[in-house]
Structure 1
């Protein structure tokens, strides 16, 4: 039976039903091709350019497009909420992971490298944040999507690795990682039409660079890293989510609404690309990139399933599960 929208096989719709599916499905397909028929993508010309070598330029385009969606017209409450999300989701987890790395080295613990931990823990799934806060949050929560635009991508991972001395990340590599984002912010604020034009870019480029990344993943790595990736996802949601929750309760004083902070306890689909970016900047991390990519991919899915369940359950327990649709007047919720 054909799809009501006119698709004989609604592939896009089916992929989107799976959390992170727009990235995870092509990633798995790419890994199948890369494992069992790697020569098929080595025939050259546009085939090799698109399906094997396109990851880095397409990721760069995605970062630029993400920047265009960040506007300067944000009020104090939105900026305060954004700061709390970045502190709890990126800064504190990053510092803790680097402290661990100083003790155990870049190989990490129990088969999970410091690279995988940073890639999985220091960013959030912005789309899922919008979905959860759209159901349970206020305008200031939805506006904090800016945090997802800032921490999405490899910048924080590169920054922490370079600053800690665990890797030799050249300053120009850090600068190069954020130039597309900064230019995107400038363009999006100067010309709103560009911002609107680039809105659909994620849906267009993510499946293609995910497939290209997948071709570099050996399924043997997935088999060995899959379970640890699931465990990582199970830990990422409560640990990083609770840090944002504490920020909501102690800094923003949101009281019974504070469980919304657990919506940040996710891993962005774009984080799957981070190990490859870091390995390109510092080849010493190449040995960890394959396993880290598969672990982060598993973490994306697991955290996307757990975070909404935790937010819903905790808000029901606090008696504030009803949707907050209005911002007027928003009284401070007593702790």
Structure 2
């Protein structure tokens, strides 16, 4: 029996009922298929292109589309929010990890190396941030995705390791990550029609690039990360998400809306590759790569589950969830 929208099975609405579900459910499905039936995605053609190799181009499209929604009227708040997210999610955690490393050395603590801590703590899952802020955030929150574009990958890990003379900052790679957003801002302000055309992009591309990212997460690696990886994921959600929450409350003065800051307490799927990239720059870290990679894979899944749940719980507890959901929908409709 179909509902009033002609829907036989409400797949999309069911995914949206779960905080971050638009990204989380495809990510988990991709992980299952990538682990137990990887050959199904290697048949080539459009199937491989869409379901296995689409993550980077679709994320790039999402970054561009998000930029088109940032008008001159919202630019100031977007930059302020982006700055707070970067400070609380990347800079402060990175400094704390480096301070710990000065005491413990590269081995870190409890079997978690400084490499694993930096790779997992200094970046965030931008797709999940967009999924949560698209449901509960304002334009300034969605625009702060640029923080995810900057901190995604090995950039901050190399930056902080570079403070000890290790690694180099890949400036061109950093520029390449930010450029689609900047171009989107320009296009959206020059021609409002593009803003209208690209408004539905998040709902379209998030499930597909999430599935593609999931295919690169082997559940065996997550299991190998064991208890240390799971505990690290819980710790990072609470600590780094809590820092962004404090930034929202103290610096941005968002009051009851500050709970959305916990949506930044995640580890990006791309960070699974960070240990190997760092070791390529400095072979002395090679001994930590295997364990760090498995721990980070666990962090990706644990934080993707906990962060949106915690953010949504706090927003509902503060009474801001319903208001933000309505205002977010109204803002996106007005932007169209």
Instruction: Check the 8 A contact 1:89/1:121 in 2, yes or no.
Output: no
Tell me the equivalent position of 1:139.
Answer: none
Please name the residue that 1:307 is paired with: 311
Structure 1 position 305, deviation (Å): 0.9
> Contact 2:31/2:218 (CA < 8 Å) preserved in 1?
yes
Counterpart of 1:267 (choices 264, 269, 280) is 264
- The answer as to whether partners of 1:26 and 1:214 remain within 8 angstroms in 2 is yes
Conserved 8 A contact 1:229-1:294: yes
How far has the Cα of 1:260 moved from its partner? 3.5
Name the SS for the 2:7 alignment partner. coil
Instruction: Give the whole-Å Cα distance in 2 for the aligned partners of 1:124 and 1:12.
Output: 16
Unpaired stretches in structure 1, ≥5 consecutive residues: 134-141, 327-335
Q: 1:63 is paired with a residue of what secondary structure?
A: helix
- Report the CA distance shift for 1:11/1:294 in structure 2 as closer, same or farther (over 3 A): farther
Unaligned runs of 5+ in 2: 281-285, 328-336
Q: Find the partner of 2:122 among 118, 122, 132.
A: 118
Distance change in 2, residues 1:14/1:75 (3 Å): closer
Question: Is 1:105 aligned with 2:101?
Answer: no
Aligned length: 310
Q: Secondary structure at the match of 1:48?
A: helix
Which residue number in structure 2 is paired with residue 15 of structure 1? 15
Q: Please tell me the root mean square deviation across aligned C-alpha atoms, in Å.
A: 3.8
CA distance in 2, matches of 1:63, 1:19: 21
Contact 1:154 1:277 (8 Å CA) reproduced: no
Tell me how far apart the structure 1 counterparts of residues 279 and 14 of structure 2 sit (CA, whole Å).
Answer: 37
SS of the residue corresponding to residue 123 of structure 2 reads: helix
Deviation at 1:234, TM superposition (A): 3.7
How far apart, in 1, do the equivalents of 2:306 and 2:100 lie?
23
Check the 8 A contact 1:68/1:188 in 2, yes or no. Answer: yes
Q: Alpha carbons of 1:243 and 1:6: their partners in 2 closer, same or farther (altered >3 Å)?
A: same
- Aligned equivalents of 1:199 and 1:107: distance in 2? 44
Q: CA deviation at 1:83?
A: 4.3
Retained in 2: the 8 A contact 1:123–1:266?
no
Structure 1's 90 and 293: CA in aligned 2 closer, same or farther, altered over 3 A? Answer: same
CA distance in 2 between partners of 1:19 and 1:58 (Å): 21
Partner of 1:138: none
Q: Is the 8 A contact 2:245 2:260 kept in 1?
A: no
Cα deviation, 1:224-253, whole Å, max 9, x if unaligned, reads: 44755654454345433443454456545x
Partner of 2:71, secondary structure, is: coil
| Alpha-carbon contact 1:116-1:293 (below 8 Å) kept | no
More displaced, 167-176 or 100-109?
A: 100-109
Q: Give the drift of 1:35.
A: 1.8
The answer to whether the aligner puts 1:37 opposite 2:23 as a matched pair is no
